[in-house]
Structure 1
Amino acid sequence: MSPFRHLGKIQKRLEDVKNQWVRPARADFSNHESARLATDALLDGGFEAYGRALSQEGEVDFLSSEEVQYIRAQAREPPCALDAPGGAEAGPQGLDACSLQSGTYFPVASEVSEPAPMLAWAAAEKPYLKDKSSATVYFQTDKHNNIRDLVRRCISRTSQVLVILMDEFTDVEIFCDILEAANKRGVCVCVLLDRGGVRLFQEMCDKVRVCDSHLKNVSVRSVAGVVYCAKSGRKFAGQIREKFLISDWRVVLCGSY
């Protein structure tokens, strides 16, 4: 008889769903400890350490090659890896990972607090609180409601506040619509970009010769996804893969454009 082989959560479920005679189990949404250990190993020791952790945990390779490359490229050293004032005896100034219990769920523990909202915008009148809400779905195949034209029309109708979140912003024509709203109509504009997309946005501004003086009423900020922190302190930030637009607190556009 072969010895018992430990199976990770994903590996066990894969074998269960492939076997038509096994009764389906209730969905398990608990923390995936094997995945955490393997991800920590990838951050701390590279791809070989990641493979060893998967083998020890009896787990499948759950990360794509692109995800592995991204995590390795974005990995950052813990605070203790920096030279602390006063020499090595001073110790780390940040989070002491060794003092935390082993049961701590680090992806949640590593989340940073959200930035404080702009006070002027928070105090602005929000008419949507009094209106009845509704939702409309548009499809890219609908030639009478082109998604890009819907975005541009929404920007042209904005009179107070415009918020745009994009993973990558390189559309010069929509950028012109935003500048017109901000500089000609006095609309307060906030553009949120994924941290990895800032370079492309800056490249667009340089090409069309837009400088800070043209962005007096436009706030451009970069945001990162959820931060994953290994127990060693090494960490990486995820990516923002969302797109939405908020106009005058009344209209929200969200989609794949």
Structure 2
Amino acid sequence: MAVIVALGAFLMTLVGGWTAQRVTDRRHLVLGLAGGLMLGVVGLDLLPEAVDAAGDEVFGVPQALLLFVGGFLFAHLVERLLAVRRAAHGADPQERVPQVGLTAAAAMVVHSLMDGVALGAAFQIGGGMGAAVALAVITHDFADGFNTYTITSLYGNERRKALAMLFADALAPVVGAASTLVLTLPEQLLGSYLGFFGGALLYLAAAEILPEAHHDHPARSTLLCTVAGAAFIWLVVGIAD
């Protein structure tokens, strides 16, 4: 059953990516919405789940929060190192690095894989739990597809690469759900991953996507799209609970 439901997530992810492609003439609105969706996913979905699952504290701080900060710093470090490397080879250090977009999109794929694992685990617990998680996964996979295509394209990658990452992101929940038929991942490991991934995702939203959205079009409509994106994730989380 989980694999069948994951096919719905597959389709919803593709719909999200298709939507991101079709509104290129409103790029600032797309980026504003993507930033809000990512902010909502991190603050309202990933981080609470990570804190619950990771468990242990280190010097009085939940392990998930330490990994969250670590993920943020790691994303910042990777981007700076790539920029320095490009500058050493004569390129503009301010120019966006395509590898950063591909790395971020790959992280989204891993996140979608974990969504599929969570979906499969929920159906193992019971039908009611499975239905609740299925609703959350299918709904917010629209945001995942939207963000995966947007992030890959934003960093200057070719359209075919953006589509390839979108397809991989769409397929990931199906693979994750199927994997639960033969294995189970420790909850603490999943919580640690979510914390680290959330920090990296927040860095991309706050340091890259939102500034880019407001750079050429500091319009009220862009801000409203950001708020709408975060509110959409809040709605999804509320319905799932």
TM beyond 0.5: no
Structure with the bigger RCO (C-alpha within 8 Å, sep 6+) is 2
Shorter-chain TM-score tier: under 0.3
Task: Report the TM-score, using the length of structure 1 for normalisation.
Answer: 0.21
Greater fraction of residues in helix:
2
